[in-house]
Amino acid sequence: MSRPLEIFEIMALADQVGASDVHLAPGRRPTFRIDGEVERQNDWEPLTAEQSERLLYSILRDDQRKELDEHWELDISYALQLPGHSVRFRINMFRQNLGLAAVFRLIPDKILTPEQIDLEPAIMDLTRIPRGLVLVTGPTGSGKTTTLATMLDEINRTRKDHILTIEDPIEFVHPEQSCVVSQRELHAHTQSFANALRSALREDPDVILVGEMRDLETISLALTAAETGHLVFATLHTTDAAQTVDRVIDVFPPAQQEMVRTQLGAVLRAVVCQTLMHRATGKGRVAGREIMLANPAISTLIRENQTQKLYATMAMGIKEGQCPLEYSLACKIRDGVLRYSAALEKANRASSLVEYLHGFGLSVDKLIDMEAMSPEEYARFAATTKAQSAPAPATARGAPSVPPPRAASPVRSAPDTSESPW
C-alpha cells in the first residue's frame, strides 16, 4: 500500500540507498538515480501537481520562493540533518509542462580520500604546485566536484594558505585545517562569478576554486588570477584535453585569440578530463581520466595553435605522468575493474584503446566474449586472470611501459597469439 509522501523521508531514503540524484515531478513517482540508472520508487504514488508544489516550496525561504516565482527556475543548496550525520543537496527547481519539478544532487557529508576515488598520483601532485591553472572537465555528473573536493582537502591538510571557493551553489563544505578557507555562493554571497573573481584578487587568496568558467569575463579573470601568482582550479563541460584548450580560446573574439593562446600556454598546468562508467561487477561506478600535464612541449603546441597534436604528445609522455583517456580505460580493463563494452562507449579513439590493450597482452576478442558473463562470473574470472598475469614493467611514476598507439586499428582484432590468460 502506498504511504503518505514527505519530502524529508524521500531525501533520507535517497541517502540510505546510495542514490546520486532524486527526481521529483508531477505525474511520476519519486525517482532515484543509483549507479547511473534511474529507478522509480514504487512505495509512493505518482505526484500530483499540487503535491509537487507543496513538497518543493516547503524547503524554500521566502526570498527563494519569490525568485522561483519570478524566474521559474532556481538553484539552491540544502542541508538535511539525519541521525549521526548530515547530507547536503544541490537542488535545481524548474517549471515544466506538468508543473513544478526538481532534481536533487546528493553531496556526501565527508570528502572522499584519493584512494576511495582511485585518484592518480599525477593528479595529487597538482595540489603541491604554487601557481597556475588546473582545469577539471567532463560531462554533468562525471564527478568533477568530488575530484576537486579531494584535491582541495589535500591542500587544506598540507599547506598553510588561504583557499577561496566561488560556487553555484556551495557543495562540499571544507572545515579549516592547516589553511584558512572562505567559501562563497553565487546569489547568496556574490552576484556573479566575475564579480567574485574580481574581488578575490584583493582578498589575499593563494588557491582559488571557480565552480564553472561560464563566460568570457570569468575565463579572462581566471587566467589573470593564475597569471598573477595564484593556483586556480576551475571546471568546464568538455570531454578531452584538446577540446578543453580550444573551448577556452574560442570564447574570445578572433582578434584576442593569439594573445589568449600565449597567456594560456604560460599559465596552464594541467587538464583532467573524466567520465564515470559502471564497474564490471555491476556495483558502483569507476572514473576514467585523461590527464594532460603542461610541459614545455604542450605549452608550445598551445601557443602555436597545434592542439590537434596534443593527444600524440600525451601518448609519448605516459612515463612522465601523461595519461590519454584510452590508456586509463585500458588499465582498468586490465585490472578487471571495467568491461570492454563500457570502455568502448566512453573512448574518444577506439583504435587507440585497442592498441593499448594489445600493449598489455589482452585479446579484444576474448574481452568481447566475456561480455556475456554475469557480474559474479566476470569478477571471479577477472580475479583469477589478474593473479595469473605478470604486471607490466613500471616506470618511476608507476606507469607501465606501453608504446603509444599506432595510427589506426580495427575495433575487433584478429585473434591474439600472445600468452595472455585473457
DSSP annotation string for 112-173: PPTTTTT--HHHHGGGG-SSEEEEEE-STTSSHHHHHHHHHHHHHHH---EEEEEESS--S-
Residue 109 has pLDDT above 80, yes or no: no
Using an 8 Å Cβ cutoff, are 150 and 65 in contact?
no
> CA-CA distance, 76 to 358, in Å (whole number)?
48
What pLDDT is attached to residue 250?
97
Average model confidence (pLDDT) for the chain? 89
> CA-CA distance, 41 to 30, in Å (whole number)?
6
Residue 396 has pLDDT above 50, yes or no: no
Grade residue 391 by pLDDT with cuts at 50, 70 and 90.
Answer: very low
Q: Where does the chain hold its CATH 3.40.50.300 domain(s)?
A: 121-323
What pLDDT is attached to residue 405?
56
Q: Where does the chain hold its CATH 3.30.450.90 domain(s)?
A: 7-107
> CA-CA distance, 82 to 106, in Å (whole number)?
14
Domain 7-107 has CATH 3.10.580.10: no
CA pseudo-torsion sign 151, 154, 160, 162: positive
Residue 40 has pLDDT above 70, yes or no: yes
For 313-346, how does the pLDDT look when each residue is reduced to its tens digit (9 = 90+)? 999 999 999 999 999 999 999 998 999 999 999 9
Using an 8 Å Cβ cutoff, are 153 and 171 in contact?
no
Q: Which is nearest to 100 in space by CA: 48, 52, 62, 45?
A: 52
In three-state secondary structure terms, 76 is strand
> CA-CA distance, 188 to 40, in Å (whole number)?
33
Q: What is the pTM of this model?
A: 0.85
Domain covering 121-323: architecture? 3-Layer(aba) Sandwich (3.40)
Q: Pick the more confident residue, 245 or 172.
A: 245
Using an 8 Å Cβ cutoff, are 59 and 78 in contact?
yes
> CA-CA distance, 28 to 52, in Å (whole number)?
10
**Which of 48-62, 104-118, 267-281, 370-384 has the lowest average pLDDT?**
370-384
The arithmetic mean of pLDDT across residues 277-288, rounded, is 90
